[in-house]
Amino acid sequence: MKAHLTRRYRFSASHRLHNQSMSPEENLATYGKCNNPYGHGHNYIVEVTVSGHVDSSTGMVCNLVDLDGFVKEQIVDRYDHTNLNMMDEFQKLVPTTENLCVEIFDRLQKSFRPAKVERVRIEETMMNSFEYAGGRELAH
């Protein structure tokens, strides 16, 4: 029997949406107030959905302690209270929440076992959320 498990995590980070290959006017037209030179921050809520066969002895898709520990180490501790623009993965990518979603998905998918990472959903604000389930290239 295959089942899905979704867990929620939180971290706070700042970013500035700015593309070096665009003029200041193009950046402002594209990103609006999110292009503020001083950046701005969000309290992100990240949902991680994993799937797998339900273990007959534990009755679980995966051990929640293992998932929580992995996400804390690989995601929450990495991004919490950071400026996303300063992270290695965003040196050539605009740190939009779409790109952050893909980065988190890829980081989890590469190393988390035994369950399969199905999707990552990030709530940036009460009005904006982003979801990625693999299969697309990063936006440049």
Domains of the chain as residue ranges with CATH: 2-132 (3.30.479.10)
Q: Which positions of the chain have pLDDT values less than 70?
A: 136-140
**Tokens read off for 5:** 């498990």
Alpha helices in 1-140, H assignment, sequence order: 24-31, 64-71, 77-79, 97-111
Whole-number pLDDT of residue 9: 98
Whole-number pLDDT of residue 140: 42
Whole-number pLDDT of residue 117: 97
Task: Assess whether 81 carries a catalytic annotation.
Answer: yes
Task: Assess whether 124 carries a catalytic annotation.
Answer: yes
Whole-number pLDDT of residue 137: 56
* CA pair distance 131, 136, nearest whole angstrom: 12
- Active-site residue, selected from the candidate residues 4, 26, 34, 131: 34
Task: Assess whether 101 carries a catalytic annotation.
Answer: no
Whole-number pLDDT of residue 1: 80
Whole-number pLDDT of residue 138: 47
* CA pair distance 118, 75, nearest whole angstrom: 16
- Active-site residue, selected from the candidate residues 4, 40, 53, 81: 81
